[in-house]
Protein backbone atom coordinates (compact mmCIF):
# COMPACT_ATOMS: atom_id res chain seq x y z
CA UNK A 1 0.00 0.00 0.00
CA UNK A 2 1.69 3.27 -1.14
CA UNK A 3 0.02 5.37 1.57
CA UNK A 4 1.23 4.30 4.98
CA UNK A 5 0.42 5.51 8.51
CA UNK A 6 3.44 5.66 10.76
CA UNK A 7 3.59 6.55 14.49
CA UNK A 8 6.13 9.09 15.78
CA UNK A 9 7.10 10.43 19.19
CA UNK A 10 7.64 14.20 19.18
CA UNK A 11 9.74 14.87 22.31
CA UNK A 12 9.12 18.61 22.62
CA UNK A 13 6.59 21.10 21.20
CA UNK A 14 7.38 21.56 17.52
CA UNK A 15 5.56 22.98 14.53
CA UNK A 16 4.16 20.04 12.56
CA UNK A 17 5.67 21.13 9.25
CA UNK A 18 9.14 21.53 10.80
CA UNK A 19 8.98 18.01 12.22
CA UNK A 20 7.98 16.65 8.80
CA UNK A 21 10.79 18.57 7.08
CA UNK A 22 13.36 16.96 9.38
CA UNK A 23 11.93 13.43 9.31
CA UNK A 24 11.22 13.20 5.58
CA UNK A 25 13.68 15.70 4.11
CA UNK A 26 10.76 17.64 2.62
CA UNK A 27 10.81 21.28 1.58
CA UNK A 28 8.74 23.66 3.68
CA UNK A 29 6.06 23.83 1.00
CA UNK A 30 5.81 20.04 0.73
CA UNK A 31 5.60 19.65 4.50
CA UNK A 32 2.91 22.31 4.84
CA UNK A 33 0.86 20.73 2.04
CA UNK A 34 1.00 17.40 3.88
CA UNK A 35 -0.36 19.06 7.02
CA UNK A 36 -3.05 20.95 5.06
CA UNK A 37 -4.29 17.63 3.62
CA UNK A 38 -4.92 16.32 7.13
CA UNK A 39 -2.11 13.77 7.01
CA UNK A 40 -0.92 14.55 10.56
CA UNK A 41 -3.11 12.82 13.16
CA UNK A 42 -3.19 13.72 16.86
CA UNK A 43 -5.41 11.77 19.28
CA UNK A 44 -7.15 10.10 16.34
CA UNK A 45 -8.04 13.36 14.57
CA UNK A 46 -6.39 15.09 11.62
CA UNK A 47 -5.00 18.58 12.03
CA UNK A 48 -5.11 20.98 9.09
CA UNK A 49 -3.54 24.21 10.31
CA UNK A 50 -0.06 24.47 8.79
CA UNK A 51 1.28 26.31 11.83
CA UNK A 52 -0.03 23.76 14.35
CA UNK A 53 2.22 22.68 17.23
CA UNK A 54 2.53 18.96 17.94
CA UNK A 55 3.99 17.03 20.89
CA UNK A 56 3.95 13.43 22.12
CA UNK A 57 2.43 10.61 20.10
CA UNK A 58 1.39 11.54 16.57
CA UNK A 59 0.71 9.61 13.35
CA UNK A 60 1.69 10.76 9.89
CA UNK A 61 0.20 9.41 6.66
CA UNK A 62 2.52 9.69 3.68
CA UNK A 63 3.15 8.22 0.24
CA UNK A 64 5.73 5.44 0.20
CA UNK A 65 6.24 4.20 -3.38
CA UNK A 66 6.28 0.48 -4.14
CA UNK A 67 7.73 -0.38 -7.53
CA UNK A 68 6.48 -3.23 -9.69
CA UNK A 69 9.48 -3.08 -11.95
CA UNK A 70 8.31 -0.70 -14.70
CA UNK A 71 11.43 1.18 -15.77
CA UNK A 72 11.58 4.48 -17.65
CA UNK A 73 12.46 4.31 -21.35
CA UNK A 74 14.10 7.76 -21.23
CA UNK A 75 15.67 9.74 -18.36
CA UNK A 76 17.56 13.02 -18.11
CA UNK A 77 18.10 15.50 -15.26
CA UNK A 78 14.68 17.13 -15.73
CA UNK A 79 12.17 14.45 -16.69
CA UNK A 80 11.60 10.77 -17.32
CA UNK A 81 9.27 8.89 -19.63
CA UNK A 82 7.58 5.52 -19.10
CA UNK A 83 5.69 3.14 -21.37
CA UNK A 84 2.64 2.82 -19.12
CA UNK A 85 0.90 -0.56 -19.22
CA UNK A 86 -2.83 -0.67 -19.91
CA UNK A 87 -4.89 -0.98 -16.72
CA UNK A 88 -2.62 1.17 -14.52
CA UNK A 89 -3.64 4.56 -13.10
CA UNK A 90 -1.18 7.42 -13.57
CA UNK A 91 -1.96 8.76 -10.07
CA UNK A 92 -3.72 7.20 -7.06
CA UNK A 93 -7.46 7.93 -7.02
CA UNK A 94 -7.67 7.56 -3.25
CA UNK A 95 -5.38 6.73 -0.35
CA UNK A 96 -6.45 3.09 -0.75
CA UNK A 97 -5.17 2.84 -4.36
CA UNK A 98 -2.72 -0.07 -4.30
CA UNK A 99 -0.55 0.95 -7.25
CA UNK A 100 -0.16 3.68 -9.84
CA UNK A 101 2.54 5.08 -12.09
CA UNK A 102 3.40 7.51 -9.29
CA UNK A 103 4.94 4.53 -7.49
CA UNK A 104 7.40 4.09 -10.36
CA UNK A 105 7.98 7.82 -10.84
CA UNK A 106 8.98 8.36 -7.19
CA UNK A 107 10.87 5.08 -6.92
CA UNK A 108 13.14 6.24 -9.73
CA UNK A 109 13.33 9.98 -9.00
CA UNK A 110 12.30 10.70 -5.41
CA UNK A 111 9.66 12.66 -3.55
CA UNK A 112 9.75 15.74 -5.79
CA UNK A 113 9.03 13.78 -8.97
CA UNK A 114 5.49 13.87 -10.33
CA UNK A 115 3.36 13.06 -13.36
CA UNK A 116 2.70 15.99 -15.69
CA UNK A 117 -0.39 14.89 -17.64
CA UNK A 118 -3.21 12.37 -17.52
CA UNK A 119 -3.75 9.17 -19.49
CA UNK A 120 -6.82 7.01 -19.04
CA UNK A 121 -6.19 3.94 -16.93
CA UNK A 122 -7.04 1.66 -19.87
CA UNK A 123 -4.79 3.52 -22.33
CA UNK A 124 -1.21 2.34 -22.62
CA UNK A 125 1.86 4.24 -23.77
CA UNK A 126 4.02 7.26 -23.09
CA UNK A 127 3.71 8.93 -19.70
CA UNK A 128 5.86 12.00 -19.04
CA UNK A 129 6.93 12.79 -15.47
CA UNK A 130 9.01 15.61 -14.01
CA UNK A 131 11.99 15.03 -11.72
CA UNK A 132 11.79 18.35 -9.87
CA UNK A 133 9.29 21.15 -9.25
CA UNK A 134 10.63 23.54 -11.90
CA UNK A 135 10.28 20.84 -14.54
CA UNK A 136 6.80 20.01 -13.27
CA UNK A 137 5.63 23.60 -13.64
CA UNK A 138 7.13 23.93 -17.11
CA UNK A 139 5.80 20.63 -18.48
CA UNK A 140 2.31 21.01 -17.02
CA UNK A 141 2.23 24.51 -18.49
CA UNK A 142 3.34 23.15 -21.86
CA UNK A 143 0.47 20.64 -21.88
CA UNK A 144 -1.98 23.40 -20.97
CA UNK A 145 -0.63 25.64 -23.75
CA UNK A 146 -0.81 22.72 -26.25
CA UNK A 147 2.89 23.08 -27.14
CA UNK A 148 3.42 19.35 -26.56
CA UNK A 149 2.25 17.31 -29.54
CA UNK A 150 0.73 13.91 -28.75
CA UNK A 151 0.15 11.06 -31.18
CA UNK A 152 -1.86 7.93 -30.39
CA UNK A 153 -2.50 4.62 -32.12
CA UNK A 154 -5.90 2.94 -32.05
CA UNK A 155 -7.28 -0.30 -33.42
CA UNK A 156 -10.88 0.45 -34.44
CA UNK A 157 -13.72 -1.62 -35.80
CA UNK A 158 -14.31 -1.57 -39.55
CA UNK A 159 -12.30 -0.32 -42.50
CA UNK A 160 -11.07 3.26 -42.73
CA UNK A 161 -9.64 4.13 -46.15
CA UNK A 162 -8.86 7.86 -45.99
CA UNK A 163 -7.59 10.38 -43.42
CA UNK A 164 -10.34 12.38 -41.72
CA UNK A 165 -10.90 15.03 -39.07
CA UNK A 166 -13.53 15.15 -36.34
CA UNK A 167 -14.29 18.64 -35.06
CA UNK A 168 -17.09 18.23 -32.54
CA UNK A 169 -17.54 19.94 -29.19
CA UNK A 170 -17.67 17.78 -26.07
CA UNK A 171 -19.47 18.15 -22.76
CA UNK A 172 -19.38 16.09 -19.58
CA UNK A 173 -22.52 14.08 -18.80
CA UNK A 174 -24.06 13.70 -15.35
CA UNK A 175 -26.97 11.42 -16.24
CA UNK A 176 -25.99 7.76 -16.58
CA UNK A 177 -29.53 6.35 -16.72
CA UNK A 178 -29.39 5.48 -20.43
CA UNK A 179 -25.67 4.86 -20.98
CA UNK A 180 -22.38 5.06 -19.14
CA UNK A 181 -20.66 7.55 -21.45
CA UNK A 182 -18.76 10.09 -19.38
CA UNK A 183 -18.86 12.66 -22.20
CA UNK A 184 -20.96 13.30 -25.28
CA UNK A 185 -21.03 15.43 -28.41
CA UNK A 186 -22.97 18.62 -27.74
CA UNK A 187 -23.29 21.98 -29.45
CA UNK A 188 -22.58 24.03 -26.32
CA UNK A 189 -19.65 21.92 -25.10
CA UNK A 190 -15.92 22.60 -25.20
CA UNK A 191 -14.32 22.75 -28.63
CA UNK A 192 -12.53 19.53 -29.60
CA UNK A 193 -10.66 18.50 -32.72
CA UNK A 194 -8.88 15.25 -33.62
CA UNK A 195 -7.06 14.26 -36.81
CA UNK A 196 -7.05 10.60 -37.89
CA UNK A 197 -4.93 8.74 -40.45
CA UNK A 198 -5.31 5.04 -41.39
CA UNK A 199 -2.09 3.01 -41.23
CA UNK A 200 -3.16 -0.60 -41.71
CA UNK A 201 -6.30 -2.64 -42.34
CA UNK A 202 -6.61 -6.23 -41.14
CA UNK A 203 -9.26 -7.99 -43.22
CA UNK A 204 -9.38 -11.06 -40.96
CA UNK A 205 -10.17 -8.91 -37.93
CA UNK A 206 -12.10 -6.24 -39.84
CA UNK A 207 -10.05 -3.69 -37.91
CA UNK A 208 -8.07 -0.61 -38.89
CA UNK A 209 -5.00 0.76 -37.13
CA UNK A 210 -5.29 4.55 -36.95
CA UNK A 211 -2.87 7.29 -36.01
CA UNK A 212 -4.75 9.82 -33.87
CA UNK A 213 -3.61 13.38 -33.26
CA UNK A 214 -5.72 15.27 -30.68
CA UNK A 215 -5.39 19.02 -31.17
CA UNK A 216 -7.32 19.68 -27.97
CA UNK A 217 -7.24 17.77 -24.68
CA UNK A 218 -10.80 16.88 -23.69
CA UNK A 219 -11.79 13.93 -21.52
CA UNK A 220 -12.17 10.74 -23.63
CA UNK A 221 -11.80 12.88 -26.77
CA UNK A 222 -10.35 10.23 -29.10
CA UNK A 223 -12.74 7.55 -27.82
CA UNK A 224 -15.82 9.72 -28.27
CA UNK A 225 -14.83 11.11 -31.67
CA UNK A 226 -14.24 7.60 -33.04
CA UNK A 227 -17.53 6.38 -31.57
CA UNK A 228 -19.24 9.37 -33.20
CA UNK A 229 -18.05 8.33 -36.69
CA UNK A 230 -19.05 4.70 -36.02
CA UNK A 231 -15.52 3.33 -35.74
CA UNK A 232 -15.32 2.70 -31.96
CA UNK A 233 -12.04 1.59 -30.48
CA UNK A 234 -11.90 -2.16 -30.01
CA UNK A 235 -12.02 -3.13 -26.35
CA UNK A 236 -13.73 0.09 -25.27
CA UNK A 237 -16.12 -0.89 -22.44
CA UNK A 238 -17.99 2.45 -22.45
CA UNK A 239 -18.35 3.70 -26.02
CA UNK A 240 -19.79 1.23 -28.52
CA UNK A 241 -21.21 -1.32 -26.08
CA UNK A 242 -24.56 -1.82 -24.37
CA UNK A 243 -25.61 -0.27 -21.07
CA UNK A 244 -25.42 -3.72 -19.45
CA UNK A 245 -21.87 -4.38 -20.65
CA UNK A 246 -20.67 -0.95 -19.50
CA UNK A 247 -22.37 -1.37 -16.14
CA UNK A 248 -20.85 -4.82 -15.57
CA UNK A 249 -17.41 -3.46 -16.47
CA UNK A 250 -17.70 -0.55 -14.05
CA UNK A 251 -19.00 -2.85 -11.30
CA UNK A 252 -16.05 -5.21 -11.99
CA UNK A 253 -18.44 -8.09 -12.74
CA UNK A 254 -17.04 -8.87 -16.19
CA UNK A 255 -14.72 -11.82 -16.78
CA UNK A 256 -11.80 -11.59 -19.22
CA UNK A 257 -13.65 -13.87 -21.62
CA UNK A 258 -16.77 -11.68 -21.53
CA UNK A 259 -14.63 -8.58 -21.99
CA UNK A 260 -13.07 -10.11 -25.12
CA UNK A 261 -16.27 -11.00 -26.95
CA UNK A 262 -18.49 -8.17 -25.69
CA UNK A 263 -16.09 -5.26 -26.28
CA UNK A 264 -13.95 -6.77 -29.05
CA UNK A 265 -10.63 -6.99 -27.20
CA UNK A 266 -9.06 -7.83 -23.85
CA UNK A 267 -8.28 -4.15 -23.24
CA UNK A 268 -8.87 -0.70 -24.70
CA UNK A 269 -6.85 -0.74 -27.92
CA UNK A 270 -5.56 2.82 -27.56
CA UNK A 271 -1.87 3.61 -27.16
CA UNK A 272 0.03 6.89 -26.58
CA UNK A 273 2.75 6.42 -29.18
CA UNK A 274 4.72 9.67 -29.53
CA UNK A 275 5.48 12.96 -27.78
CA UNK A 276 7.12 15.97 -29.44
CA UNK A 277 8.11 18.89 -27.21
CA UNK A 278 10.81 21.34 -26.19
CA UNK A 279 12.62 21.49 -22.86
CA UNK A 280 16.00 23.15 -23.27
CA UNK A 281 16.30 20.96 -26.39
CA UNK A 282 13.79 19.57 -28.87
CA UNK A 283 12.61 16.03 -28.10
CA UNK A 284 10.75 13.44 -30.15
CA UNK A 285 10.08 10.39 -28.02
CA UNK A 286 8.43 7.24 -29.39
CA UNK A 287 6.98 4.29 -27.53
CA UNK A 288 8.98 1.08 -27.67
CA UNK A 289 5.79 -0.99 -27.89
CA UNK A 290 4.99 -2.45 -31.33
CA UNK A 291 1.26 -1.77 -31.26
CA UNK A 292 0.78 -3.59 -34.55
CA UNK A 293 1.62 -6.82 -32.73
CA UNK A 294 -0.80 -6.04 -29.91
CA UNK A 295 -3.67 -6.88 -32.27
CA UNK A 296 -3.36 -10.42 -30.92
CA UNK A 297 -5.58 -9.16 -28.08
CA UNK A 298 -8.44 -8.44 -30.51
CA UNK A 299 -11.36 -10.88 -30.65
CA UNK A 300 -11.90 -12.62 -34.04
CA UNK A 301 -14.70 -10.80 -35.85
CA UNK A 302 -16.98 -13.85 -36.04
CA UNK A 303 -16.93 -14.22 -32.23
CA UNK A 304 -17.63 -10.60 -31.34
CA UNK A 305 -20.94 -9.77 -29.70
CA UNK A 306 -20.47 -6.02 -29.38
CA UNK A 307 -21.74 -3.03 -31.37
CA UNK A 308 -24.73 -4.85 -32.89
If we measure between CA atoms, which residue out of 152, 162, 87, 153 comes closest to residue 293?
153
Distance of CA 147 to the CA centre of its chain: 19
Choosing from 83, 120, 188, 290, which is the catalytic residue?
120
Residues in the chain: 308
Active site annotation includes 78: no
Q: Cα(206)–Cα(228) distance, rounded to whole angstroms?
A: 18
CB of 62 closer than 8 Å to CB of 95: no
Maximum pairwise Cα distance, the chain: 73
Q: What is the DSSP secondary-structure string of 2-50? A: -EEEEEEEEEEEEEHHHHHHHHH---HHHHHHHHHTT-EEETTEEE--T
Q: Cα(269)–Cα(298) distance, rounded to whole angstroms?
A: 8
**Does an H or E element contain 119, and which?**
none
3-state secondary structure of 51: coil
Phi-psi label, residue 42: left if phi above 0, alpha if psi -120 to 50, beta otherwise:
beta
| Residues 6 or more apart in contact with residue 174 via CB below 8 angstroms | none
If we measure between CA atoms, which residue out of 107, 108, 101 comes closest to residue 65?
107
Q: Please give the positions annotated as active site.
A: 120
Amino acid sequence: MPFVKRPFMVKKPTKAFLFIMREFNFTQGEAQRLVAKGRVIVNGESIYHTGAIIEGKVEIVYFEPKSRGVKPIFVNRDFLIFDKPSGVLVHPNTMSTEYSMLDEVRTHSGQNANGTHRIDMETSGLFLASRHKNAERFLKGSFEKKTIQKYYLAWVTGRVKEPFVVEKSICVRNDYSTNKHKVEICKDGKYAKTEFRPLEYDKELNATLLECKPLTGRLHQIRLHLFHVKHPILGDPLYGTSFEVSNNYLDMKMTKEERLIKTGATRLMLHANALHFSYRNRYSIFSKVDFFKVKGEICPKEKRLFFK
